[in-house]
Amino acid sequence: MSCKITGLDKLKDLQQRAEALEGEHQVPFSELYNADFMRQHTKASSFDEFLIQGGYGTTKEEFEAIPDDEFDEYVRNTTDFESWLGMQEAAGAAYISKRLGF
């Protein structure tokens, strides 16, 4: 008895996508915190809107000047995450899943 195995091309594609993600990457906030992610976890449709709702500026310098404990509290009170780190990890996982095709 013999059987035909199919779908290996999809596995090879997944392997190539995973290899492309290996190492360090600079991912723009707009991709990492895309509209779908922001709407799912906050009351904002963009990261800039999220910052503005919190009374923060939207430039890189203004964002980097926000005290960590203050931003953790803002994230905890306005999202379904316990901290800014938790939000970052979830956004990274969502980004990777999307890039892998899940």
Structure confidence at residue 18 (pLDDT): 46
Please write the tens of the pLDDT for every residue from 60-93.
Answer: 999 999 999 999 999 999 999 999 999 999 999 9
- To the nearest whole number, what is the mean pLDDT of the chain? 86
Residues 6+ apart with CB under 8 A from 54: 74, 78
Structure confidence at residue 25 (pLDDT): 66
> What is the percent of the chain where pLDDT is above 70?
79
pTM here is 0.77
Structure confidence at residue 24 (pLDDT): 72
Given a contact cutoff of 8 angstroms between Cβ atoms, the answer to whether 38 and 87 are in contact is no
